[in-house]
């Protein structure tokens, strides 16, 4: 049996960071549609029999009916493919969800929070999904396989081997207990980083988010294609997102003023299909106002700038100078010790004053 496994598409996510600069959020939502269409075309061309979608398929709070209609119309173009969806924490199966209030194509099966098993000619498909935005236990670890002679698949959304308090709210599952049950393949969702080749004969798989959702998801994104014959599993990861997010550091230590910094940024060599977070590092000799940089730089695909630079002054030494500058620095250092202001506030005051005094 041949299958495709995706998760965490997050259709119609707001992309708040991207929307802060231009139409990048809207463009990324269009990318979601195009990439999903590519997956459907792959299914058609390769005659894939099963399509597993392991939760967070869309954003419940922002999904549009038109987007669901777009998705469903694509599902109708692959009528021979059996589609299984398990709702996750961003798209739970609740009363006003698109899962319960939309008439889906006949080849689509949407699981609820009750564990179900669907028998097909090739395999028994087990599935269970979220019925709320948080779910501490979907009882996955207590599933008993009905017929171990058949191929057995589990589709669900959850946190494997969760330990921190946050992830324990999202259907925590013990990997060792899951292995003991004996599924031939476990199609998971929730973790946005792919995990499909970290151990030999791995059959408990996160495909990762289908497209990169932001700067915390650097790397390849796509889907899993698999085949099970005579209980033997073969899987591969297919990258499908031709755009990406990247971080780039720029050291300002040897840059003398803001004009030179802007020139350096505008001359950076950047990939056309990437969106960048620029991280400024090193010792600065001038004031840096990030908001002003956004307005002035010409590199439109730099959509986030983080200033991690430090003042390039020996304050203790300068405070001993019997000059106006030295007296001022000494007063600022005293304020730092008295803690009437935060360190960040005083550093900004100091920076502005020193820049003015140096003119």
Q: What is the DSSP string of 112-181?
A: -SS-EEEE-SSEEEEE---SSS-BS---GGG---S-TTSEEEEEEE-EET--STTGGGB-EE-HHHHHHH
Per-residue pLDDT of the chain (359 residues; tens, 9 = 90+): 999 999 999 999 998 778 767 688 888 999 999 999 999 999 999 999 999 999 999 999 999 999 999 999 999 999 999 999 999 999 999 999 999 999 999 999 999 999 999 999 999 999 999 999 999 999 999 999 999 999 999 999 999 999 888 899 999 999 999 999 999 999 999 999 999 999 999 999 999 999 999 888 988 999 999 999 989 999 999 999 988 899 999 999 999 999 999 999 999 999 988 999 999 999 988 888 899 999 999 998 998 999 999 877 666 666 677 777 777 777 777 766 666 666 666 666 766 766 666 65
Instruction: Please give the tally of structural domains in the chain.
Output: 2
Question: Does 277 reside within a domain?
Answer: yes
Q: What is the pLDDT of residue 323?
A: 76
Do 184 and 281 fall within a single domain?
no
Residue 311, token pair as written in the block: 């003042």
Distance CA 205, CA 202 (A): 7
What's the half-sphere exposure (Cβ side, CA atoms, 13 Å) at 340? 6
Do 352 and 268 fall within a single domain?
yes
Do 267 and 347 fall within a single domain?
yes
Question: Does 244 reside within a domain?
Answer: no
Do 57 and 22 fall within a single domain?
yes
Do 159 and 274 fall within a single domain?
no
Q: Which domain holds residue 168?
A: 2-239
Q: What is the pLDDT of residue 313?
A: 64
First-to-last CA distance in the chain? 74
Q: What is the pLDDT of residue 353?
A: 67
Question: Does 256 reside within a domain?
Answer: yes
CA-nearest of 334, 358, 356, 357 to 346 is: 334
Residue 227's φ and ψ, nearest 5 degrees, are -145, 135
Residue 223: which CATH number? 3.60.21.10
Residue 214, token pair as written in the block: 């932001």
Q: At which of 218, 239, 260 does a domain end?
A: 239
Distance CA 199, CA 195 (A): 9
Question: Does 270 reside within a domain?
Answer: yes
Question: Does 337 reside within a domain?
Answer: yes
Do 12 and 103 fall within a single domain?
yes
Do 144 and 288 fall within a single domain?
no
């Amino acid at each position: 049996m041949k299958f495709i496994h995706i998760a965490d598409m997050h259709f119609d996510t707001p992309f708040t960071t991207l929307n802060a600069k231009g139409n990048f959020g809207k463009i990324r939502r269009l990318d979601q549609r195009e990439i999903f269409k590519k997956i459907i075309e792959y299914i058609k061309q390769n005659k894939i029999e099963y399509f597993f979608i392991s939760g967070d398929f869309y954003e419940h709070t922002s999904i549009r009916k038109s987007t669901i209609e777009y998705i469903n119309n694509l599902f109708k173009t692959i009528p021979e493919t059996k589609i299984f969806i398990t709702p996750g924490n961003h798209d739970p199966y609740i009363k006003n969800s698109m899962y319960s209030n939309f008439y889906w194509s006949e080849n689509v099966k949407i699981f609820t929070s009750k564990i179900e098993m669907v028998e097909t000619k090739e395999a028994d498909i087990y599935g269970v999904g979220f019925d709320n935005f948080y779910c501490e236990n979907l009882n996955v670890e207590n599933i008993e396989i009905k017929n171990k002679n058949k191929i057995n698949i589990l589709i669900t959304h959850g946190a494997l081997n969760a330990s921190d308090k946050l992830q324990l709210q999202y259907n925590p599952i013990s990997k060792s207990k899951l292995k003991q049950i004996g599924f031939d393949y476990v199609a998971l969702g929730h973790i946005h980083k792919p995990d499909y080749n970290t151990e030999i004969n791995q059959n408990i798989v996160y495909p990762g988010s289908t497209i990169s959702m932001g700067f915390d998801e650097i790397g390849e994104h796509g889907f899993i294609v698999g085949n099970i014959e005579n209980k033997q599993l073969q899987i591969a990861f297919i990258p499908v997102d031709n755009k990406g997010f990247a971080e780039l550091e720029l050291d300002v230590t040897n840059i003398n003023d803001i004009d030179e910094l802007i020139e350096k940024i505008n001359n950076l060599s950047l990939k056309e299909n990437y969106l960048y977070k620029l991280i400024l590092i090193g010792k600065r000799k001038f004031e840096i106002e990030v908001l002003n940089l956004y307005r002035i730089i010409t590199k439109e695909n730099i959509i986030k700038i983080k200033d991690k630079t430090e003042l390039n002054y020996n304050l203790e030494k300068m405070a001993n100078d019997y000059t106006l500058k030295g007296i001022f620095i000494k007063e600022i250092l005293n304020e730092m010790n008295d803690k009437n202001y935060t360190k960040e506030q005083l550093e900004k005051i100091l920076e502005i004053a020193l820049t003015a005094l140096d003119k």
